[in-house]
């Protein structure tokens, strides 16, 4: 049996068209900074990207597309 990732954030994105019309994939990441960074990279390939904390994680948080497109954090530049 495969081990489940213990990431606390997810990024869901649409895969390129193939046999399925609306195939999506999801990656889990350890923190919000990494999720934003990964989501920005996926926005270059697909306009349909969403990110947030998985259920039942509380408090529930989501990252809006406008937040993904904002300037990177200073820590991301290092």
pLDDT 10s digits, 21-60:
678 899 999 998 899 899 999 988 888 899 999 887 778 8
State the residue for tokens 């934003």: 36
With residues binned 3-state (H G I as helix, E B as strand, rest as coil), the percentages for the chain, rounded to 5, are: 25, 25, 50
pTM, to two decimals = 0.71
For the segment 30-39, what is each residue's pLDDT rounded down to a tens digit? 998 899 899 9
Contact 28, 10 (CB under 8 A): yes
Structure tokens at 29: 């990441």
Task: Report the Cα–Cα distance between both ends of the chain, in Å, rounded.
Answer: 38
Peptide bond into 59 cis (omega under 30): yes
């Amino acid at each position: 049996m495969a081990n489940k990732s213990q990431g606390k954030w997810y990024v869901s994105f649409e895969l390129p068209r193939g046999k399925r019309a609306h195939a999506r994939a999801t990656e889990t990441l350890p923190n919000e900074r990494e999720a934003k960074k990964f989501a920005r990279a996926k926005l270059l390939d697909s306009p349909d990207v969403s990110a947030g904390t998985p259920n039942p994680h509380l408090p529930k948080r989501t990252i809006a597309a406008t937040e993904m497109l904002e300037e990177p954090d200073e820590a991301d530049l290092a």
